[in-house]
Amino acid sequence: GQNIDQPTEMTATEGAIVQINCTYQTSGFNGLFWYQQHAGEAPTFLSYNVLDGLEEKGRFSSFLSRSKGYSYLLLKELQMKDSASYLCAVLDSNYQLIWGAGTKLIIKP
Amino acid sequence: IAGITQAPTSQILAAGRRMTLRCTQDMRHNAMYWYRQDLGLGLRLIHYSNTAGTTGKGEVPDGYSVSRANTDDFPLTLASAVPSQTSVYFCASRNRETDTQYFGPGTRLTVL
């Protein structure tokens, strides 16, 4: 079967760093995506990893290890506006996205 | 239009009624998708279309149908709504060069 696991909820402090983990078991792999979703809004694209390693984009970085079926999203210098759900999704062998349930990130002042 | 639009934004529907959710994109993406999102669950694929004139079933297609007469439009129809179809519905399209999916704003549907 196909499975993507990520923590349900995390809490962090404004200005700090947080790492959101994602593990996956899917039929085929053509890349891993991270999306951000604010409450009541649509998911928006954050990052895409297809090769092992770290991709950095401003305050956000995403890491992938294909051999371990593992990815993480790293958010630095947290701001209150980063309070949102973060969705991990794998592009499977049919080029369809398989989604995790999302991690709700709560930022406290 | 810039991106993907969906209509209506929200709807309350009596069980047994027929309903069509509309989705239009102006990015000329070939592939389009319909998802439903329920609390505690990941986005689940209902139907998809890889190109105009073709459609396919996703993970949860029962009770839903789609059509793809042209590149821009991808309507989702509930033939006879049931309360378990209460959900938020997102339409998305995929950029073939980057494989990135872009989402519409969603339709919040309540079936009573």
Give per-residue pLDDT as tens, B93-108: 999 999 999 999 999 9
Q: Considering only CB atoms, which residues of chain A are within 8 Å of chain B? A: 4, 30-31, 33, 41-45, 48, 87, 89, 91, 95-102
Which residues of A are less than 8 Å from B40 in CB distance? Answer: 101
How far apart CA A84 and CA A67 sit, in angstroms, is 29
Q: What is the pLDDT of residue B86?
A: 98
CB pair distance less than 8 Å for A100 and B42: yes
Give per-residue pLDDT as tens, B39-91: 888 899 999 999 999 999 999 999 999 999 999 999 999 999 999 999 999 99
Cβ of residue B106 closer than 8 Å to a chain A Cβ? yes
Top residue of B90, B101, B107 to mutate, by most chain A CBs within 10 Å, is: B101
- Tell me the pLDDT of chain A (109 aa) as tens digits: 789 999 999 999 999 999 999 999 988 999 999 999 999 999 999 999 999 999 999 999 999 999 999 999 999 999 999 999 999 999 998 889 999 999 999 999 9
Please calculate the CA angle B17-B20-B21 and round it to the nearest 5 degrees: 130
Q: What is the pLDDT of residue A76?
A: 97
How far apart CA B92 and CA B94 sit, in angstroms, is 7
Residues in Cβ contact with B4 at an 8 Å cutoff, skipping those fewer than 6 apart: B23, B24, B25, B27, B91, B92, B93, B102, B103, B104, B105
Q: What is the pLDDT of residue A94?
A: 87
Residues in Cβ contact with B104 at an 8 Å cutoff, skipping those fewer than 6 apart: A42, B3, B4, B5, B6, B23, B25, B90, B91, B92
CB count, 10 Å around CB of B44?
16
Q: pLDDT confidence of B1, banded at 50, 70, 90?
A: low
Sign of CA dihedral B97, A97, A1, A20: positive
Single out the residue of A25, A23, A31 nearest to residue A48, CA to CA: A31
Top residue of A45, A49, A90, A103 to mutate, by most chain B CBs within 10 Å, is: A45
